[in-house]
Amino acid sequence: MKIIFLDMDGVICVPRYNVAINRIHELDVLEPAGVGFLNRLLEVDPTIEFVISSTWRKVYTHERLLKHLQDAGFTGKFHVDWRTGQHPKGHRGLEIQEWLTNHPEITDYLIIDDEVSDIYPYVNKKYVVHTDTYNGISIKNFHDMNNKLFGKETAWLDFHWTERKKEGLPVSAIPL
């Protein structure tokens, strides 16, 4: 099973989108493109489960956060142990490391976060995709996610090429 440790602010809740839609005073608006990128990963592997490493885990219940994500189009699901714990020093890398220690069956994971200074000292960089705080998940981040999760940047394209070929459609018409 693959796990994605998901931060919210600076990943799928980003200032760029809030400014664009004139909702700058709302702090929990989720950007459709970021949610869409997560869903694209699920198209390749629908068994991926998410663990919330964001501070949102402290204010939202499991049900409320999942519904908020689903209302934004998210098609994924949370792991039964859906959030990391709270380390006394607040280092998310330690919180993720502790979660992984408690789940030794998990060997394939990815961390998506915009603030990595408290993650890198504790978790290998090869498991981290570093997003831009103001812009969230970029297309480069999306390629990195595919590469880290599936071993190649174009895993999502391979999936669609195969489907389009089955339908007799040209592969050059695949939307990016």
Domains, in order of start, for the chain: 2-110+118-123+134-140 (3.40.50)
- What pLDDT digit, counting tens, does each position of 28-54 carry? 899 999 999 999 999 989 999 999 999
Which ranges of the chain does DSSP label H, i.e. alpha helix? 15-20, 32-44, 62-71, 92-102, 139-150, 155-166
Measured distance CA(150)–CA(128) in Å, rounded:
14
Q: How confident is the model at residue 176 (pLDDT cuts 50, 70, 90)?
A: very low
Sequence-ordered list of residues with C-beta below 8 angstroms from that of 18, at least 6 positions apart, any chain: 24, 26, 29
How confident is the model at residue 88, as a pLDDT? 80
Judge contact between 32 and 72, C-beta under 8 A. yes
* pLDDT of 174 higher than 50: no
The residue ranking higher by pLDDT, 171 or 85, is 85
DSSP assignment of 78-108, as one string? Answer: EEEEEE----TT--HHHHHHHHHHH-TT--E
- What pLDDT digit, counting tens, does each position of 125-172 carry? 999 999 999 999 999 999 999 999 998 766 555 555 566 666 766 555
How confident is the model at residue 10, as a pLDDT? 95
Measured distance CA(176)–CA(160) in Å, rounded:
11
Judge contact between 66 and 55, C-beta under 8 A. no
